[in-house]
Amino acid sequence: MTEEYRVVIDLALLLLISGILSLVFVKIKMPPILGYVAAGVVLGPSMFPDLWVENNTVDVLSSIGIVLLMFYIGLEMDVRKLKAEGSKLLFVVSLQMPMMVAFGFLAGIALGMTAVQAIFLGAIISGTSTAVVVGVLRGSKHITPEMARTIITITIFEDVGQVLILTLAAPLLAGDSPALGSTVNMIVGLILFIGLTIVIGMALVPKALNYIGDRFSPEILLIVAVGLCFAMAALSSEVGLSIAIGAFLMGLIISLSKYNRVLATKVEPTKELFMAVFFISIGLQITPMLIFENLWLVAVIAVVFIIGKIVSIWMGCYLMNMTAKDSLMIATSLIAMGEFAFVIAQAAYDADVVSQGFYSAVVGAAILTMVLMPMIDSKQPKMYDWAVRAMPDRLRCALVRIDDIHAVVERNTRIDQRTKREIKKDLTLIVIDILVMLIILITFTSVESVTSSITDAATGLALLPQELLLIAMLIVLAPVVYNWFMNVRRITRTMTRLVMESPKGGGMNERTVFLIFANLSNITFILALAVVMVPFMPKLVFSPLGIISVFIGAGIVIYLLWNTVRQTYDKFCKIVTPDMEE
């Protein structure tokens, strides 16, 4: 059989079987995506060995589908709205992704996994499938276009975040600790690549495409635009990012051209065709027997992912002034595990960090979430109404009051420059606190010279090295954590003042408003603190008696040295924020 004939046979099998099965799923009121996945299972090696397709054909076509999908999403984006909402959504992702890693890590430890395996479980469940989300949103009747853009933008940020997580976790595959210098270089390189791509691309590409569109046929315009898309995808892969990110960036850049709607219309049919192959490729990776043998692990991973995703996304959106209902709608629209989960699981499996059963369980859990998502999506309004009816009256009234306060804050956006400077300063100091905490934690757990010095000192004091290490770390961290908490509290007071000074705030009780903001901020502070510290704790775990002794000892030393360590950190904060006092 010639290679050309094999490709023709593969395409016939892929399209016909997926088409027939998708019709079946549509008949039972399920999304056609599941028909494509089922076609992959049918064509996989475990079901009908004589009915097969060439893996290389599927890999190439599915990669084309991902590139075209992300390019199309970029074309559909409104850059102006993205600039306005980007910082809020970046906060949501920055909160929920570390929370998901922490949830996965704790679940892995509870299941008896090693620390490295648990970290990779957290990395696996940290992202959402852009392709599945887009497919489900297309048929959703209660998701507004603005909400859909918010949901898709979150998945884009998650893709970037998972690239960072995989890069940070990669040394663990070889048994090493992440190196601080290489991590900083990677993050700086990523920011420079994306920043330069957007700046240079927006300055040149839209003008070039407008010139071509004005003078030549639409077919030439399409060829040039798609060529730029694949070129950027290749460049993105070359610098260590996903091809999807490069394609999305080029789509975002080309969306500034006056021909963006023409290009989106022409790209859409081809994108739909290749995306079907992508979902088939997921089905090809499924071995039903291995998934059945690890069904309990499939269920655990899926439950941890769904609950963690809903809680973390809802909390992030709610803190960003979205209503409780909209926050829940967005959260429940992101419960399909991402394609990047397969990449991370495959990397861990290839390095013998996890077993084949674990890998199959990850694939099974991803498929389970993809099946559940359209079911949950169709019931979102009813789910919210049921939750409201089921919750206690006091909690329901509290949510109503918080939504009213959110509305007041949203309308009261024209605040004076002094208040803006106050909020900006406090937010900057919080970011500095978190960065300093991470540097301290990485230094104490990874830098050999520090740990060896602590070990020598512990020997002289007849203490365990791990206990003395944690005491020293807690002493150094104390002013940072205190400063972080006080900055959060100052923002709480500022937001309370804004509400009380607004026209609608006159009818509210100031203490009630303050307590609402304080409770939300305290919960966020505690969760964020846990997320920052949990990944570093495996190296510092010892007996419960040792933990009690450490905290008592650290508390005494901090009390005696508080003025010294506090004044030192205050001076550091003034040095790094000299212009914010004006």
Burial of 506 (0-12, 13-18, 19+ CB in 10 A): exposed
Tell me: do 515 and 563 sit in the same domain: yes
What's the total number of domains in the chain? 2
Q: Are 10 and 23 in contact (CB under 8 A)?
A: no
User: What CA–CA distances, in Å, run from 524 to 99, 528, 531?
Assistant: 11, 6, 10
Tell me: do 360 and 426 sit in the same domain: no
Backbone phi and psi for residue 360, each to the nearest 5 degrees, phi listed first: -65, -35
Tell me: do 341 and 486 sit in the same domain: no
Tell me: do 162 and 232 sit in the same domain: yes
CATH number of domain containing 269: 1.20.1530.20
| Rounded-to-integer distance, Cα 472 and Cα 467, Å | 9
Walk along the chain (582 residues) and give the pLDDT tens digit of each residue: 566 777 888 888 888 888 899 898 888 777 677 788 788 888 877 677 777 787 777 888 888 888 888 788 788 776 666 666 666 777 788 778 888 888 888 888 888 888 778 888 888 888 888 777 877 777 777 787 778 888 888 887 787 777 667 666 666 665 555 554 455 555 666 667 777 788 888 888 999 999 998 988 888 999 999 999 999 988 888 876 667 778 888 888 898 888 888 888 888 888 888 878 877 877 777 777 878 888 888 999 999 999 999 888 888 887 776 777 888 888 888 888 877 777 778 777 777 888 878 888 888 888 888 888 877 877 777 777 777 777 676 666 666 666 666 565 555 545 556 666 777 777 777 777 777 777 777 666 655 445 555 555 545 544 455 666 677 777 778 888 888 888 888 878 877 777 676 655 555 667 776 776 777 677 777 767 776 676 565 554 444 555 565 566 666 666 665 666 566 656 655 655 555 444
Tell me: do 361 and 401 sit in the same domain: no
From 344, 375, 390, give the residue that closes a domain: 390
Tell me: do 383 and 425 sit in the same domain: no
Tell me: do 316 and 428 sit in the same domain: no
Spell out the alpha helix ranges (H) of 28-144.
32-43, 55-76, 79-110, 115-124, 130-138
- Per-residue confidence (pLDDT) for residue 484, from 0 to 100: 81
- For 240, the token pair is 């260590």
- Per-residue confidence (pLDDT) for residue 228, from 0 to 100: 93
The CA radius of gyration of the chain, in Å to the nearest whole number, is 26
From 343, 374, 390, give the residue that closes a domain: 390
- For 562, the token pair is 């508080």
Tell me: do 430 and 478 sit in the same domain: yes
Tell me: do 369 and 439 sit in the same domain: no
Compute how many other C-beta atoms are within 10 angstroms of the C-beta atom of residue 581: 8
Tell me: do 383 and 453 sit in the same domain: no
Question: What are the b/e assignments for 45-72, b being 16+ CB within 10 Å?
Answer: eeeeeeeebeeebbeebbbbbbbbbbbb
Tell me: do 443 and 372 sit in the same domain: no
- Per-residue confidence (pLDDT) for residue 140, from 0 to 100: 73
- Per-residue confidence (pLDDT) for residue 418, from 0 to 100: 67
- Per-residue confidence (pLDDT) for residue 462, from 0 to 100: 46
- Per-residue confidence (pLDDT) for residue 83, from 0 to 100: 63
Q: Which domain holds residue 300?
A: 3-390
List all residues 6 or more positions away from 69 whose beta carbon is below 8 Å from its beta carbon: 130, 131, 134, 244, 247, 271, 275, 278
Look at phi and psi of residue 175 and say left if phi exceeds 0, alpha if psi is from -120 to 50, else beta. Answer: left
| Rounded-to-integer distance, Cα 183 and Cα 301, Å | 28
From 346, 368, 390, give the residue that closes a domain: 390
Tell me: do 399 and 493 sit in the same domain: yes
Q: Are 175 and 348 in contact (CB under 8 A)?
A: no
